[in-house]
């Protein structure tokens, strides 16, 4: 992660990102979070299993605003996570 994203970051739980207290109290220092969301896609076919999907969204801690999920969820977190980080890197330059 450090090779691709040279800016300061920390991995934290969803609860830590959403809470106003604790380590991440300073919303100027810790302004944004990338929050994970899980849901299940139910198969329309009896012989196909349901699939667990992982997706992410941005959360602005300074104003409490949640942005929409990517709608590009995948059964693998990294498939969704990598494009989000690439977007951040591209727009931060």
Q: What is the dihedral of CA 40, 45, 49, 54, to 10 degrees?
A: -30
Domain count, the chain: 1
Mean pLDDT is lowest, of 2-6, 55-59, 69-73, 85-89, for 2-6
Q: ∠84-61-27 over CA atoms, to 5°?
A: 115
- 42 belongs to a structural domain: yes
Reported pTM:
0.68
Give the pLDDT confidence of 47-81 residue by residue, as tens digits.
888 888 888 888 888 888 888 888 787 878 888 88
- 23 belongs to a structural domain: yes
Please state, for a pLDDT cut of 90, what percent of the chain lies above it.
0
- 86 belongs to a structural domain: yes
- 6 belongs to a structural domain: no
Nearest partner of 41 among 28, 55, 27, judged by Cα: 55
Q: Provide the domain limits for residue 32.
A: 14-92
Is pLDDT at 86 greater than 70 in this prediction?
yes
Structural tokens at position 28: 């100027």
- 9 belongs to a structural domain: no
- 5 belongs to a structural domain: no
Model confidence at 5, pLDDT cuts 50, 70, 90, reads low
The SS3 call for residue 66 is strand
């Amino acid at each position: 992660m450090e090779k691709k994203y040279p800016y300061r970051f920390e991995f934290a739980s969803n609860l830590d990102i959403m809470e106003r207290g604790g380590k991440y109290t300073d919303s100027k220092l810790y302004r944004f979070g990338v929050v994970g969301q899980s849901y299940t896609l139910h198969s329309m076919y009896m012989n196909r299993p349901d699939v667990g999907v992982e997706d992410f969204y941005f959360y602005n801690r300074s104003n409490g605003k949640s942005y929409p999920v990517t709608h590009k969820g995948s059964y693998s977190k990294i498939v969704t996570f990598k494009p989000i980080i690439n977007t951040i890197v591209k727009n931060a330059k």
